[in-house]
Chain A
Amino acid sequence: MSVLITSICAAAIVYAVSILYAAIGEIFSQRAGIMNLGIEGIMLMGAVSGFLTVVHTNNLALALLAVIGVGGVLGLVFAFLTVTLQADQTVCGMAFLIFGSGLSGFIGKNVTGIASAVKFEKIAIPLLSKIPVVGEIFFHQDLLVYFMYIIVPLSLFYIQKTRPGLILRALGENPASLDTAGTNVFRLRYLYVMFGCAMTAISGACITLSYTNFWNEGMTGGKGWIAFSLVAFSRWNPGFAALGALLFGGISILGMNLQVYLPGIPTQFYSMLPYAATVVALIITTGSFRKIHTAEPAALCQKYVREER
């Protein structure tokens, strides 16, 4: 039984990390005032570009680089549309969703069903992995998971405690005053949107480079939306996002495992769990009946035009 619990927890972490990259990227983007609804499409582009690179080169580092590059370029275009051209962010997000799912399917068609020779393998960290239960759960994972152990505290520290973090928060709350103080609002928003998209692309790469080693059209299967809702759920805080991701990971993996023990309930109902949980979590964390200050950045989704401030 305890072996089962350990394996469920370890799987929950892998699931959590695969949505956490996107969620943290989106937190940075939204903190800067830009909402990117296209997560699912960008994840798919990350997944397919990573997989294509690894199939052709068998080089995981190169694949990761390609993923970050693709994410960055998509971010550049998204920032151009929303920051420079001030287009509606919701509509742009949907455009990216459709573009990403179409293009990823188009360029990935030839490698559908092929398995890549390499993927991120689990590495046991010496000593730490020997700790009973905890070691097996946390320290017998792949590199993408280990990176996350560093990224979460680092991004939390960056946003809450550093001067650039303060500027980032102001970017989403009151860009006009930052602009007056001489900060280049446009350039910073470009940077954070590009960073957010690169992280989102890595989220997709988690699926094809570590979770599995093949590519299938639309294989993110709604994970992007869970990452998106995690942002509001976590009140724009990377730490809470990590906890939330673990919760969702746990629910999903538990659902898959419960299936074995309670075969009377159709699989579809288990698959519904994370989505239903997201709605409930969203109501609890952002419903106005709580009468507390919402953490949503005040300038989120608002166009910033110098003359109109």
Chain B
Amino acid sequence: MKIGNIQFEKKQTVSLRKRILNPIVCVVLALVFSSLLIIANGFDPIAVYAKMISYSFLNARGLYNSINAALPLMFCGLSVAMAFKMNLNNIGAEGQYAIGAIFGGGFAIFGPALPTPLNLLVMFLLCALGGGLWAMIAAVLKAYWKVNETIVTLMLNYIALLFLDYLCYGPWMAPRQTTAMTTTIPKSMYLPSLGGTSSGVLLAIGIAILLLLFLKHTTGGYQIGVIRNSTRSAEYAGIPVKRYILIVFALSGALAGLAGFVEVTGIVHRVQAQLPGGSGYTGIVVAYLSQFNPLVVILVSILFGGLQNSCAAVQLMGVPSQIATMLQGTIMIFVIAGEFLNHYKITYYSAGNREVSKR
């Protein structure tokens, strides 16, 4: 491809060193760009960044909090990565998270008292079921009527969040309470803590490993790869594409529903309005930056969790907390651009059509 004096050539392979180095360079460039915006708003970017990093990562307390903040992101990221593995745009992790929390939280608050492990198991299954069922609406429409899953999952987000709002302001609202939240769930439903973090992080890592094994070493994972590369050839090969759309969507939704499980049992210990708080959307960024690799999702989530966690620190300096979202967006835009440079060799020709520089 040639645009003006610049020639792009597709590279066949990308070295591992470049694959790792490139995103890091892009993140640094994104931070440099954002610092311009920070300066324009009258703050000192270096002081802001230093405060963010030291608050979120350079002490045990901060690191634990960052991991806790990252927990729902891990599950939402895994959910999105799962769906993207088959080129399904599940933008609905936010809503699936909410419905998962409603299913599990409802059991925790109104359900019968069972022994702790059984309690947690039932809640785990209910959260996964809730998220999975909510995702199935889009999956069925996609599989049988080819209705665009992007828009359907998006609309379902708003419906789910409004329903959560309704429950928390209405029938589920705790007595003598002015904020929209339920009563705390019984102690027997708390996920045990692990040092300063929730043990949900072990669950996330375990599920990420299972997912990786499933995608890399099973027939199902292989067939998902075939469908991603070409739906038509998958159909010729006799792979039941419709069934896979349903299965992958159900799994993806269940993973997002589990974000509700870890948040309710491990962090907030109640159900409240606006519980997902954008994790479903951030999960998309996380999944993309991780190149849809489940284990990398865990790492990137912790980074983003730290970013969200650090808002509290910079707010004391007068910096708006929206800086975290802004940084996430900027990082993503720069990484998208950098991804291209990874796959193409760029040659610049001067006016005389002579090769001048190569990258």
Residues of A within 8 A of B (CB): 37, 41, 77, 80-81, 84-88, 90-92, 94-107, 109, 186, 217, 222, 225, 228-229, 232, 266, 268-269, 271-272, 275-276, 278-279, 282-283, 286-289, 305-307
Q: Return the CB mask of B32-70 against A: 1 if under 8 Å, else 0.
A: 000001000100000000000000000000000000000
Q: Return the CB mask of B1-38 against A: 1 if under 8 Å, else 0.
A: 11100000010000000000000000000000000010
CB pair B166–A99 under 8 Å, yes or no, is no
Interface centre among A37, A275, A289 (most CB of B within 10 A): A275
Q: Which secondary structure dominates chain B's binding surface?
A: helix
**Chain B contact residue count (CB 8 A cutoff):** 48
CB pair A282–B147 under 8 Å, yes or no, is yes
Cα–Cα distance between A264 and B285 once the two chains are bound (Å): 40
Shortest Cβ gap from A86 to chain B (Å): 7
CB pair B145–A186 under 8 Å, yes or no, is no
Partner of A225, one of B155, B285, B333: B155
Contact partners of B333 in chain A: CB under 8 A: 77, 81, 92, 95-96, 99
Q: List 18 A-B contacts (CB under 8 A).
A: A85-B340, A87-B336, A90-B89, A94-B332, A98-B281, A98-B328, A102-B323, A102-B325, A102-B328, A103-B37, A106-B37, A106-B41, A229-B155, A269-B166, A275-B156, A276-B159, A279-B155, A282-B148
Residues of B within 8 A of A (CB): 1-3, 10, 37, 41, 89, 91, 141, 145-148, 150-152, 154-156, 158-159, 162-163, 165-166, 169-170, 281-282, 284-285, 288, 320, 322-330, 332-333, 336-337, 339-340
Q: Which secondary structure dominates chain A's binding surface?
A: helix
Cα–Cα distance between A302 and B29 once the two chains are bound (Å): 28
Known interface pairs A85-B337, A98-B281, A268-B166; A109-B329 also in contact (CB < 8 Å): no
Contact partners of A307 in chain B: CB under 8 A: 1, 10
Contact partners of B337 in chain A: CB under 8 A: 80-81, 85, 87
Contact partners of B281 in chain A: CB under 8 A: 94, 97-98
CB pair B155–A275 under 8 Å, yes or no, is yes
CB pair A102–B327 under 8 Å, yes or no, is yes
Shortest Cβ gap from A111 to chain B (Å): 11
Partner of B150, one of A77, A90, A266, A272: A90
Contact partners of B325 in chain A: CB under 8 A: 98, 101-102, 105-106
Interface centre among B141, B152, B159 (most CB of A within 10 A): B159
Partner of A272, one of B162, B324, B330: B162
Cα–Cα distance between A182 and B336 once the two chains are bound (Å): 30
Cα–Cα distance between A103 and B329 once the two chains are bound (Å): 9
CB pair A87–B340 under 8 Å, yes or no, is yes
Contact partners of B141 in chain A: CB under 8 A: 283, 287
Contact partners of B151 in chain A: CB under 8 A: 225, 228-229, 232, 278-279, 282
Closest 8 CB pairs of A and B: A99-B329, A102-B325, A105-B322, A102-B326, A109-B320, A268-B166, A85-B340, A287-B145
CB pair A106–B323 under 8 Å, yes or no, is yes
